[in-house]
Structure 1
């Protein structure tokens, strides 16, 4: 199934706590342990469903000595996650058992992780994950997280952000919400300060939206150039090809292809078990492994 939100990437300081929260508490699979391709000393963790399907993936750059974040004039926040119909009470009990404070509102649970990332589990009118995407863990298959559903753009100039999405993608803003499909959406929220945002623990580096293939991505790249948007770069990450654009508020938006996926450098049944490097980094493995930041 085509998921409009491909993945969301954030920053964390403590690898072990992050791994425990997203695998043991939320039940996602650790699908990839690799490095930041811009800084090979920095680990990059990926979590998702069993196959790391686009639309299920949350990633974290592990940054030692990372300080507190300051969300001010322009920032991304909040990870909305879909859970199957009839599973809200299960998740409320699970969070309570783990002594994680949460607020229950209608069909959602609102809580935070170790880095104070806002998370929402949203019960939707969908059945469970397909069996081949269910993670083998203590969470029953019919209760497991289905995938990403939403995030928030915070800016003092939301009209410009809305214009970016409409002109480039044809996505319409309806009173601060851009509905991507029946369940998934982007929320546009105003900020009222001129103080600059400072990245830190729990900051969202970017949100990535799905593009079918490289041909569609190249077409989007050309359109963005013709419209004069702030294009950062186009690069192949091995697992997918990406186009990065800074929207008018300065927030990083990525567009990523659906393939080739996470099995290019390790088998499906052992994803995440070892440090994985895409083929173009494999020849540098010894250098990377000797200089990588120590996990905390």
Structure 2
């Protein structure tokens, strides 16, 4: 399978502002409203294309009392999103009308979300989304966001992080950039400070890369063990199975299977409309709903 970014997961404290930006402005679909499976009191929201297909998904953990983030010795940053050919003028107009300040560099627009997460919209030569993946909103189908394109790893010693991806996945780099496919990439950049980072509003908790299936994920797990890499856990999330590792710089990296997807507990038409719980959490629904953090 050709490598690609499966999803990215971040932290926010204000779900209404977050939804306004990613759903109303950027035009993503609300594909899953669920809970953090490691802390059932915390809401976990997913946005993506109409199907919530891997490669289109941005997720947020909602933490009401979340403080300021400090990006120092190690952190993940930026959400790069690809848009179709000839769609840049549309997005410039849309951002301007929404009073979102942006900078244009060639075929790229740079701006920030309400939590000061840097967003890159990058026009590609790719065609627009197939109709079945298009979200039903006010953005024309031939202008809608295609999916994830890039993100950044900031670490004290980039060479060690680049070597991690090479040893585990045979991914090669050029000028601290790893190309995953013809358009998508990750940058591994030197940290500007060696002080400790602190997670907060807008922090990226992890970046997830796609694994073809259970067998591919299990093989990756065995290889990570043989290389004595820092393994956090391998776990079934219901919507996909996940392997979590720590790269040498300290950032969390996930590998997630591309199936079964978000329709295991909701119909495609009803995605994101109510609190969804994968089957193994459904029997705990009453207790979970009672203890969910309330936004301040």
Q: TM-score, normalised by structure 2?
A: 0.99
- Structure 1: how far apart are the matches of 2:294 and 2:265? 23
- Structure 2: how far apart are the matches of 1:241 and 1:266? 18
Within 5 A, what are the aligned runs for 1:86-97? 86-97=86-97
Structure 1 partner of 2:240: 240
SS at match of 1:152: strand
SS at match of 1:82: strand
Indicate if the aligned counterparts of 2:2 and 2:180 stay in contact, CA closer than 8 A.
Answer: no
- Structure 2: how far apart are the matches of 1:230 and 1:212? 22
Structure 2 partner of 1:196: 196
Q: Unpaired runs of 5+ in structure 1?
A: none
Indicate if the aligned counterparts of 1:102 and 1:109 stay in contact, CA closer than 8 A.
Answer: yes
* Structure 1 residue 151, shift from structure 2 partner: 0.2
Structure 1 partner of 2:164: 164
Within 5 A, what are the aligned runs for 1:1-16? 4-16=4-16
Structure 2 partner of 1:153: 153
The answer to whether 1:78 aligns with 2:90 is no
Structure 2 partner of 1:37: 37
Write out per-residue CA displacement over residues 54-109 of structure 1, whole angstroms, 9 at most, x where no aligned residue. Answer: 00000000001101100001110000000000000100100000000000010110
Within 5 A, what are the aligned runs for 1:127-276? 127-276=127-276
Structure 1 partner of 2:287: 287
Indicate if the aligned counterparts of 1:43 and 1:293 stay in contact, CA closer than 8 A.
Answer: yes
Q: Give every structure 1 segment of 4 or more consecutive aligned residues whose post-TM-superposition deviation is greater than 6 Å.
A: none
* Structure 1 residue 156, shift from structure 2 partner: 1.0
Indicate if the aligned counterparts of 2:42 and 2:61 stay in contact, CA closer than 8 A.
Answer: yes
* Structure 1 residue 192, shift from structure 2 partner: 3.2
Indicate if the aligned counterparts of 2:238 and 2:279 stay in contact, CA closer than 8 A.
Answer: yes
Q: Unpaired runs of 5+ in structure 2?
A: none
SS at match of 2:121: strand
Cα root mean square deviation, aligned: 0.9
- Structure 1: how far apart are the matches of 2:23 and 2:35? 19
